[in-house]
Amino acid sequence: MYIYNVTINIDNDAHDAWREWMIGNHIPDVLATGQFLDARFTQVLVEEESGVTYSIQYRFDTMADYQLYQELFAPELQQSTEALFGGKFVAFRTLLEIVHEFTPGEQR
């Protein structure tokens, strides 16, 4: 299992519109591609001089799912973000592999 993590710092003046668009449009559009199992939209709890930082985490099963997303869907989805909020955000993307998941009381 894997996580595609997108960390974004959005300028304060675009924050409210961006957040509403992410929740109402962008994240549902990414999930509608069928390449991800679910998503988490989280705010990074640090004080920033300008802007607010978020992490969006998309879980997926196989690298083939991610590759297909990158080839068929990512360019258009990223372009729509740039068209609406270009110059108002900085983003970086990270791939993570889930090595082991733990639950409380799990036996060692």
Residue 9 lies in a domain: yes
Whichever domain contains 32, its CATH number is 3.30.70.100
| Contacts of residue 28, Cβ cutoff 8 Å, sequence gap at least 6 | none
Mean residue pLDDT of the chain comes to 94
DSSP label at residue 68: H
pLDDT at 4 over 90: yes
pLDDT at 46 over 90: no
Q: How many CB atoms are located within 10 Å of the residue 44 CB?
A: 12
Domain holding 42, by residue range, is: 2-97
Q: Are 4 and 58 in contact (CB under 8 A)?
A: yes
Residue 76 lies in a domain: yes
pLDDT at 17 over 80: yes
Residue 18 lies in a domain: yes
What total of structural domains would you count in the chain?
Answer: 1
Residue 102 lies in a domain: no
Residue 108 lies in a domain: no
Read off the pLDDT of each residue in 10-35 and give the average, rounded to a whole number. 96
High-pLDDT (> 90) share of the chain, %? 87
Residue 73 lies in a domain: yes
Read off the pLDDT of each residue in 50-74 and give the average, rounded to a whole number. 96
Residue 90 lies in a domain: yes
pLDDT tens-digit readout, 54-64: 999 999 999 99
- Measured in residues, the chain has a length of 108
CA–CA distance, 105 with 72 (Å, rounded to integer): 42
Residue 61 lies in a domain: yes
Ramachandran bin of 105, using left for φ above 0, alpha for ψ from -120 to 50, beta for the remaining angles: left
pLDDT at 5 over 90: yes
